[in-house]
Amino acid sequence: MEKSLVLIKPDAVQRNLIGEIISRFEKKGFKLVAMKMVQLDEPTLKKWYHQYADAPFFSKIANYMSWTPVIALVWEGYNAVDLIRRIIGTRKGWEAEAGSIRGDLGMSGGNNLVHASDSKENVEREIAIVFEKGEIHEYKTLTEELVYSEEERSGDFR
């Protein structure tokens, strides 16, 4: 199974959408293996947005992302990175697909409710910024038996 990191951003926290957003991933069958509320500071955001840290617009991103705490979640499931990105929808709320988080709940291009890891390479980097090693949990659920075939659970799915 694959992991992916999701951040519920300040605009979603302010709009009380935390439960709604979490339920989208639960309903799809993803397993929550880590969760915490964290206040992102400028050094952390410079690590997170390393490619933009020296850009003139970085302060706007930093102000938005440090406005309130965010909810950091690590989800586990088959093809997690790609499927979670489909669940959240394209970046701009007004362009995002109906049925996606951003398509159903968002209108903004910048205040877009959630972040999800965009690649398998970034998953580990992003998780390490927000979580300590012991904060990611390994456990089995009965739901896994219902959602995934034996091949998918064993990693032999092609």
- Which amino acids are annotated catalytic? 115
What is the end-to-end Cα distance of the chain in Å, rounded?
A: 13
Instruction: State how far Cα 97 lies from the chain centre.
Output: 17
C-beta contacts of 95-101 below 8 A and 24+ residues apart = 101/21, 101/24
φ, ψ for residue 77, nearest 5 deg: 175, 175
Answer whether 105's CB lies under 8 Å from 8's CB.
no
> Left, alpha or beta for 155 (phi > 0: left; psi -120 to 50: alpha)?
left
- Radius of gyration, alpha carbons of the chain: 16
